[in-house]
Amino acid sequence: MPDIYIKNTKIYYNNSLQPAEIIIENGKIKKIGKDFRISSSDMVIDARGALTLPAGIDVHVHFREPGMTLKENWYTGSCSAAAGGIATVIDQPNTVPPTTDRRSFEQKLKLARNKSIVDFGINGGVTGNIEKLKELWRLGVTAFGEIFMAESTGGLNINDETFEEALAEIKKLGALATIHAEDEKMRLELEQLLKDDVSYEYHSKVRPNACEASAVQSALELISKLQVRAHFCHLSTLEAVGMVRKEKYLAKRDDKKPLFTCEVTPHHLFLSTKDWERLRAFGKMNPPLRGSHSIKALVNGLNDGTIDMVASDHAPHLESEKDLDIRFAPSGVPGVETLMPLMLAAVKKNILLLSRMIMVTSRNPAKAFGLDLLGKGKLEVGFDADLMIVNPRNLQPIRAEMLHSKAGWTPFEGMDAVFPQYTLSRGEVLWTEECINAKPGRGNFLEGGGKKSKEEYEEDDENSEEAGSD
């Protein structure tokens, strides 16, 4: 008897939407087909013609725990994810304390295991802790970063020398470096130059397109030099998209796989400098809001494969914290719950194809971060039953009171969205139209590629010593 039988649904298969039924057993997709003769099951979901899609994977969230739980915690953040059709998240290291050693990693892991309702990975922080990266990799971090090339929330930015040392060590470990690319020297110079600017646009001026472009260029040169696997967080500019497109073209020409992937956020796709007047400091994030030419480049890059994935950079702050002068308000906006609904609305508006949306919200993130090896990212037999059921006709405006983040507000207020009717994680229903059904702590920790037993590492170390003495 199957655990869940989904009937009267449609799935995207062979480049078209097709009627289907799905059988889920032991948390996995057991069968996909038509006209199954099922006498009974633990649960029958009648989709009534709605689509069943892979649940989203958000590789860039800040759930703020430990240390900043007034803003968010693992339970509220993961509920927000589930209500938006996200079944897997990767948390960033700039918490209090930052995730930069064994003690801080184990502290965060314990909290997440006790509270998260979605499956999760944890990234390791990079500061002056180069000697700790090997230990973090062996503990099971998903990747390293985001590595801050410029100042941002948490103050984890590093200088050029430390950046290169970190990338060299990450290469040695066979791990993935995730990069927040902004030029700190340029930012500081412009901050001083624009010290008398009192406009809300100040934040976009002090971190202009050139600030990101310069940092991306420097990072690309180091990636090539060291041959390290890397991922660019939240690309936001016309110039950066052009650089990435050129590098990917050259790799393809030479019949090589690109060493890097990149992401874009919904706030850089759907908000712009025109929103400063409406949002004021609530629109402050790093990198900042951009102009229409950059937004067009980002949409084109997402459609043509230059940009690999969409991630929310969910970075919640309370309204009272954001309702300040632009210089003093913290950077960051909530977004994990609105990522998939906004992307589904973009499909409905013909901004991108459904097939591409599926790639950039599930399959590509899973592959880039090694989660496909853990059964994530595909609506296929044998993979985890991480699914969302949506009716694309149910377009509705986003309202802050609908959402589950502690932030209590959204920069996307009033914008069109398509929210899920169901969200499933490993065959368990987390969300059914306005109701969270999961208990805290049911989410699994998804161990990174460096996680091995103590005995395995001791054997590896002995083999390395023997090889070095030959």
Task: Kindly report the CATH number assigned to the domain that includes residue 236.
Answer: 3.20.20.140
User: Is the domain of 255 the same as that of 163?
Assistant: yes
Query: How much is the pLDDT for 454?
Result: 60
62 assigned binding-site residue: yes
User: Is the domain of 39 the same as that of 184?
Assistant: no
Q: Which domain holds residue 15?
A: 4-46
User: Is the domain of 81 the same as that of 35?
Assistant: no
Nearest residue to 158 via CA among 170, 145, 168, 148? 148
Task: Decide if 83 is inside a domain.
Answer: yes
User: Is the domain of 139 the same as that of 35?
Assistant: no
Task: Decide if 460 is inside a domain.
Answer: no
268 assigned binding-site residue: no
Query: How much is the pLDDT for 143?
Result: 98
User: Is the domain of 36 the same as that of 60?
Assistant: no
Task: Decide if 221 is inside a domain.
Answer: yes
User: Cα–Cα distance between 361 and 336 in angstroms, integer?
Assistant: 12
Which listed residue (91, 313, 372, 384) is catalytic? 313
Task: Decide if 131 is inside a domain.
Answer: yes
Q: Look at strands 229-232 and 260-264 and give their pairing.
A: parallel
64 assigned binding-site residue: yes
Query: How much is the pLDDT for 456?
Result: 66
User: Is the domain of 11 the same as that of 150?
Assistant: no
Q: What is the pLDDT of residues 425-466, one digit of tens each?
A: 999 999 998 899 999 999 999 999 998 766 666 666 666 555
Query: How much is the pLDDT for 14?
Result: 86
Query: How much is the pLDDT for 452?
Result: 74
Q: What is the pLDDT of residues 268-298, one digit of tens each?
A: 999 999 999 999 999 999 999 999 999 999 9
Please give the C-alpha separations between residue 372 and each of 166, 375, 377, 383, in angstroms, as whole numbers.
26, 5, 6, 9
Query: How much is the pLDDT for 64?
Result: 98
User: Is the domain of 330 the same as that of 427?
Assistant: yes
Percent of the chain with pLDDT over 70: 96
Q: What does the DSSP 8-state code read for residue 403?
A: -
Cβ neighbours, 10 Å, residue 165:
16
User: Is the domain of 74 the same as that of 41?
Assistant: no
User: Is the domain of 113 the same as that of 8?
Assistant: no
Task: Quickly list DSSP for 107-170.
Answer: HHHHHHHHH-SSEEEEPBP-SS-GGGHHHHHHHT-S-EEEEESS--TTS----HHHHHHHHHHH
267 assigned binding-site residue: no
Who contacts 161 (Cβ-Cβ below 8 Å, separation ≥6)? none
SS3 content of the chain, % helix, strand, coil (to 5): 40, 20, 40
User: Is the domain of 42 the same as that of 148?
Assistant: no
Query: How much is the pLDDT for 354?
Result: 97
Query: How much is the pLDDT for 347?
Result: 98
User: Is the domain of 225 the same as that of 153?
Assistant: yes
Task: Decide if 444 is inside a domain.
Answer: no
pTM here is 0.96
Query: How much is the pLDDT for 465?
Result: 58
Who contacts 405 (Cβ-Cβ below 8 Å, separation ≥6)? 72, 76, 77, 80, 314, 316, 334, 336, 337
Task: Decide if 446 is inside a domain.
Answer: no
21 assigned binding-site residue: no
User: Is the domain of 37 the same as that of 155?
Assistant: no
Helices (H) and strands (E) in the chain, counts: 16, 18
Question: In this structure, which amino acid lies at residue 194?
Answer: L
Task: Decide if 184 is inside a domain.
Answer: yes
203 assigned binding-site residue: no
Q: What is the pLDDT of residues 227-246, one digit of tens each?
A: 999 999 999 999 999 999 99
314 assigned binding-site residue: no
293 assigned binding-site residue: no
Q: Which of the residues in the chain have pLDDT under 70?
A: 1-2, 453-470
209 assigned binding-site residue: no
416 assigned binding-site residue: no
275 is catalytic: no
Query: How much is the pLDDT for 462?
Result: 63
- Overall domain count for the chain: 2
Task: Decide if 452 is inside a domain.
Answer: no
Query: How much is the pLDDT for 450?
Result: 96
Cβ neighbours, 10 Å, residue 318:
15
Query: How much is the pLDDT for 374?
Result: 98
